[in-house]
Chains A and B, each alone.
Chain A
Amino acid sequence: MKQIEILIESEEGHTTKLVPDGDVPKEVSKELSNDKWATIKKTDGTTDVLTKKDAPTEEDWKTSFAKPIDKSVDTPSKSIPNSVVDEFKNKFNDVESVMVTSKAKGG
């Protein structure tokens, strides 16, 4: 499986870790919920910056993981697509690397 490098700002400078590309959204979501910002670099060279307001909540993730089970027992009227998680995951299509930083607020 493809590994994606995530660079994370730390007190000493930064640390890096390699994460399987399928796990990157969940990993970044955790960092965003701690009020960090994440800059995603795509393979085509474009970038995007995500904040806590882009991240699904823990509840969204739980609902997302429970979806396959729910689907087998739900009636159509109860089946709600987890758009928050899906939308968030879509932001990581063709991701090359991620940089997680604290916010910049100074001037």
Chain B
Amino acid sequence: MVNVLICGAGGIGSYLTEFIIEYMIKGIIPFSSINIEITDYDKVEFKNLNYQNFQIDEVGKYKVVALKNRLGGVIIKKKKVTRPKDIINNDLILICVDNDTVRQLIYETCHKYNKEFIDIRSQGKRVFCLPKGISYEEDSKFLDLKDTTNYSCQEQKDLDSGQIQFTNRIAASIGFQMFLNHLRKVPNHKINFMV
């Protein structure tokens, strides 16, 4: 039994959750093989509907509650990940967060406690997916430790002009394939591209 934590239920995590649940319902991933937890502290806002996997009647609900009510099959946590304790009971962390502070905590904790992670990101027309590497030092070159900004998967100029990009769903799809590879013990490699 693999204890999986999806960390973040925004533009990437909300789709990734649905992909995983769909494969569980279809029996492609046996229910008995994984536990899925999802953690996020935000509520669905109207502005999220253009590019996140939520519907208008879910506005105002916690994102994790909305996903559980619609998809079922997940254990939800309405909280932010702030300490190693929040993740060390999980075997695999699917990182779908919007900031390097939480990414750093997860990278460090996974290397220290021998847990696995797949970091799944998008921004504008770019996609980046990083499976845990050989060392924290090697993985941390993709972190800006002084940058505490939260980044949407959509660029602000695209949101302002209404030119919503699809790359968050592409990132979720690639992250999902990497997740399947991990379950099937197939090695993953880092991916970075722009469309």
- Name A residues whose Cβ lies closer than 8 Å to a Cβ of B: 9, 14, 37, 39, 46-47, 49, 51-54, 99, 101-107
Give Cα distance in the complex from A51 to B97, angstroms.
Answer: 20
Give Cα distance in the complex from A14 to B124, angstroms.
Answer: 13
* Residue B120, interface by CB 8 Å: yes
Q: Is the CB of B151 within 8 A of A107?
A: yes
* Residue B19, interface by CB 8 Å: no
Given contacts A39-B192, A101-B194, contact A106 B11 (CB under 8 A): yes
Q: Is the CB of B192 within 8 A of A54?
A: no
Q: Is the CB of A106 within 8 A of B153?
A: yes
Q: B94-135 CB contact bits vs A (8 Å, 1 = yes)?
A: 011111100000000000000000001111101110000000
Q: Which of B137-183 contact A (CB under 8 A)?
A: 141-142, 144, 147, 149, 151-154, 168
B130 to A, closest residue via Cβ: A49
Number of A-B contacts (CB under 8 A): 79
B141 to A, closest residue via Cβ: A53
Given contacts A47-B189, A54-B141, contact A105 B194 (CB under 8 A): no
Please give, as numbers and ranges, the residues of chain B lying within 8 Å of A46 by CB-CB distance.
Answer: 189
Distance in Å from the Cβ of A10 to the closest Cβ of chain B?
A: 10
Please give, as numbers and ranges, the residues of chain A lying within 8 Å of B191 by CB-CB distance.
Answer: 47
Q: Is the CB of B192 within 8 A of A107?
A: no
* Residue B12, interface by CB 8 Å: yes
Give Cα distance in the complex from A73 to B151, angstroms.
Answer: 52
Given contacts A51-B141, A51-B142, A53-B141, contact A104 B190 (CB under 8 A): no
Q: Is the CB of B193 within 8 A of A107?
A: no
Q: Is the CB of A102 within 8 A of B193?
A: no
Q: Is the CB of B8 within 8 A of A9?
A: no
Q: Is the CB of B192 within 8 A of A101?
A: yes
Interface centre among A14, A53, A101, A102 (most CB of B within 10 A): A101
Q: List 8 A-B contacts (CB under 8 A).
A: A46-B189, A51-B142, A101-B192, A104-B122, A104-B192, A105-B144, A105-B147, A106-B124
Please give, as numbers and ranges, the residues of chain B lying within 8 Å of A99 by CB-CB distance.
Answer: 192-194
Give Cα distance in the complex from A52 to B98, angstroms.
Answer: 21
Distance in Å from the Cβ of A35 to the closest Cβ of chain B?
A: 9
Q: Is the CB of B12 within 8 A of A107?
A: yes
Give Cα distance in the complex from A17 to B126, angstroms.
Answer: 20
